[in-house]
Amino acid sequence: MRSHTCGQLRAEDEGRRVRLAGWVNRVRNLGGFCFLDLRDRYGMIQVVFEPERQELMDAAGRLHMESVILVEGVVRRRPGSMANQELATGEIELLAESCKLLSRADVLPFTLEAEDTAGEDLRLKHRYLDLRRPTKSRYLLLRHRMAQAVRRTLDGLEFLEVETPILMKSTPEGARDYLVPSRIHAGCFYALPQSPQTYKQLLMVSGFDRYFQIVKCFRDEDLRSDRQPEFTQIDIELSFGDELDVQDTAEAVMAGLFREIKGEELPLPLPRLTWREAMDRFGSDKPDLRIPLEIRELGALAASSNFGVFQQALEQGGVLRGLVFPGLAEEFSRKKIDALQDYARHLGGQGVVVVRWTAEGLSSQIGKFTGEEWLKSAVAAAGATQGDLLVLAAGEYRLVCKLLGNMRLRLAKEHGLLDASAHKLLWVTDFPMFEYDDEEQRWMAAHHPFTQPNAEQLAAGVPESDLLSRGYDLVMDGQEIAGGSVRIHEREMQARVFRMLGISDEEAQEKFGFLLEAFRYGTPPHAGCAFGFDRLVMIFGGTENIRDVIAFPKTNRAASPMDGCPGRVDARQLDELHLKIVGDKPGGDA
RNA sequence: GGACCGGUAGUUCAAUCGGUUAGAGCGCCAGCCUGUCACGCUGGAAGUUGCGAGUUCGAGUCUCGUCCGGUCCGCCA
Q: What is the pLDDT of residues A506-522, one digit of tens each?
A: 888 888 999 999 999 99
pLDDT score for A332? 85
3-state secondary structure of A191: strand
Nucleotide closest to A440 measured between CA and C1': B75
pLDDT in tens, A36-85: 999 999 999 999 999 999 999 999 999 999 999 999 999 999 988 899 99
Rounded Cα distance, A167 and A246, in Å: 27
Quickly state the pLDDT bin for A584 (edges 50, 70, 90). low
A126 CB and strand B closer than 7 A: no
Tens of pLDDT, residue by residue over A303-349, are 999 999 999 999 999 999 999 999 999 888 887 888 888 888 888 87
User: Percent of chain A, pLDDT > 70?
Assistant: 99
- Does nucleic acid strand B have an atom less than 7 angstroms from the CB of A107? yes
DSSP readout, A138-175?
Answer: HHHHHHHHHHHHHHHHHHHTT-EE----SSB---SSSS
pLDDT in tens, A83-93: 999 999 999 99
The CA-atom distances, in angstroms, between A294 and each of A20, A26, A51, A381 are 58, 52, 70, 13
Chain A 387-446, CB < 7 Å to strand B = 402, 435, 439, 444-446
CA of A116 to C1' of B58 (A): 39
Residue A230 has pLDDT above 80, yes or no: yes
Confidence of residue A370 (pLDDT cuts 50, 70, 90): very high
Helix A134-156 crosses helix A533-541 at what angle (to 10 degrees)? 120
Residue nearest to nucleotide B1 (CA to C1'): A222
Which H or E element spans position A373? Answer: helix A367-382
Q: Residue A65, CA: closest nucleotide via C1'?
A: B27
Enumerate residues 6+ apart whose C-beta is below 8 A from A98: A56, A71, A72, A73
Question: pLDDT tens-digit profile of A161-218?
Answer: 999 999 999 987 789 999 999 999 999 999 999 999 999 999 999 999 999 999 999 9
**CB of residue A112 closer than 7 A to nucleic acid strand B?**
no
Q: For the residues A535-559, what does the mean pLDDT come to?
A: 95
For residue A31, count CB atoms less than 10 angstroms from its CB and return exposed for 0-12, middle for 13-18, buried for 19 or more: exposed
Nucleotides in B strand less than 7 A from protein CB: 1, 3, 10-13, 26-30, 32-40, 67-77
Query: Average pLDDT, stretch A385-406?
Result: 93
Q: Which residues, in sequence order, are bridge partners of residue A310?
A: none
What pLDDT is attached to residue A583? 66
> Dihedral angle at the C-alpha atoms of A498, A502, A506, A507, nearest 10 degrees?
-80
How far, in Å, CA of A384 to CA of A368, rounded? 20
pLDDT band at A473 (very low <50, low <70, confident <90, very high): very high
The answer, yes or no, to whether ipTM is higher than 0.85 is yes
- Cβ contacts of A12 within 8 Å, gap of 6 or more: none
A398: burial class by Cβ within 10 Å (0-12, 13-18, 19+)? middle
Strand B atom within 7 Å of A227 CB? yes
**CB distance A154 to A212 below 8 Å:** yes
On whether the CB atoms of residues A314 and A320 are closer than 8 A, the answer is yes
Average pLDDT, chain A: 93
Protein CA A558 to sugar C1' B75 (Å)? 15
By three-state DSSP, how is residue A79 classified? Answer: coil
Helix/strand/coil percentages in chain A, nearest 5: 35, 25, 40
Whether residue A588 has pLDDT greater than 70: no
Pairing of strands A272-274, A425-429: parallel
Structure confidence by residue, pLDDT tens digits, A109-123 = 998 988 888 889 999
Contact by Cβ (8 Å): A161, A552: no
Rounded-to-integer distance, Cα A282 and Cα A323, Å: 9
pTM: 0.93
From the number of C-beta atoms within 10 Å of its C-beta (0-12, 13-18, 19+), residue A259 rates as middle
Statement: the CB of A561 is under 7 Å from strand B? yes
Give the CA A367 to C1' B62 distance in Å: 42
A447 touches strand B (CB under 7 A): yes
What is the β-pairing status of strands A92-103 and A160-161?
unpaired
pLDDT score of A586 more than 50? no
Between CA A427 and CA A471 the distance in angstroms is 10
Q: What is the pLDDT of residues A426-440, one digit of tens each?
A: 999 999 998 888 777
Q: Are A278 and A428 in contact (CB under 8 A)?
A: yes
Amino acid A408: pLDDT: 94
